[in-house]
A and B are shown apart, each in its own frame.
Chain A
C-alpha cells in the first residue's frame, strides 16, 4: 500500500538558519509528490510538486525539494527561515492509477526561535 512517513513530528530552528524537513514514501511506481503548508486553523496551501524531470523542484516562499528515487525521499529545504515559516508541513503522494486521491504523512510542526 502507498504510504508517506515524516520522521520528525516537531522541529525547532532559529530564524535565519537553514531548514530540511524529511519525507519518505512507499509506492510501487514513479510517484507524484507534494509538499503542503498549513497555518493554525487554516486549510492547506501547496508549496511545490514533483511529477517528472528535474529532481530539484522550486516552490513558493523560497522552498525547494529534491526527489531521490534511490532513497524514496522527497525532502523539503529552505536556506534561511523566517518567523512567518512557523506552521505545519505535510508531504503527500498521489494520485494513483484508478484512485484519484492523495495520501498524506503525519505532518511536521515547525517552530522558529527569534
Chain B
C-alpha cells in the first residue's frame, strides 16, 4: 500500500546528542515536509522540500537540519542546538500545487529528551 512511513515511533535522546528521524514515502510525491506539534500550538513547519536536492526553511528551522538526496526520503536531524526538542514530529508529502493538492501525513515520531 502507498503511504508515508516514519520511524521510529518513539525516540529518546540524551541532552547534547543529535538524532535523526526517518521519513519515507512511496507515493511518488515531489514535495515533502516536516512539522513539529506541541500541545496547544498546532503544527509548525520546520523544513520543506519541493524537489530532490533542494529544501527551504520553515518557521522554526533553528536547531534542525534535513537532506533530500532521494525523492522517497526526507530525514530530519534534531541537533544539540535545538533547545527544546521534546515534541511530536510529523512528516508529510504531496504532489505539487494546484486543485489536486493534498498533503498526506505519516504516523509521527514522539521524541523525548531524557
Contacts and interface: CB of A to CB of B under 8 A. Distances in A.
Tell me if B's interface is mostly helix, strand, loop or mixed. strand
A90 B99 CA distance: 20
Contacts, number: 61
A101 B58 contact: yes
- Counting chain A residues whose Cβ lies within 8 A of the other chain, the interface size class is 20 to 34
Contact of A100 (B48, B105, B110): B48
Nearest to A32: B101
Interface of B: 4, 6, 31, 33, 35, 40-45, 48, 50, 56, 58, 88, 90, 92, 94, 96-97, 99, 101-108, 110
Interface of A: 6, 9, 32, 34, 36, 41-46, 49, 51-52, 90, 95, 99-107
16 contacts: A34-B102, A41-B110, A42-B107, A42-B108, A43-B105, A44-B105, A46-B102, A49-B101, A90-B42, A100-B31, A100-B50, A101-B33, A105-B42, A106-B40, A107-B40, A107-B42
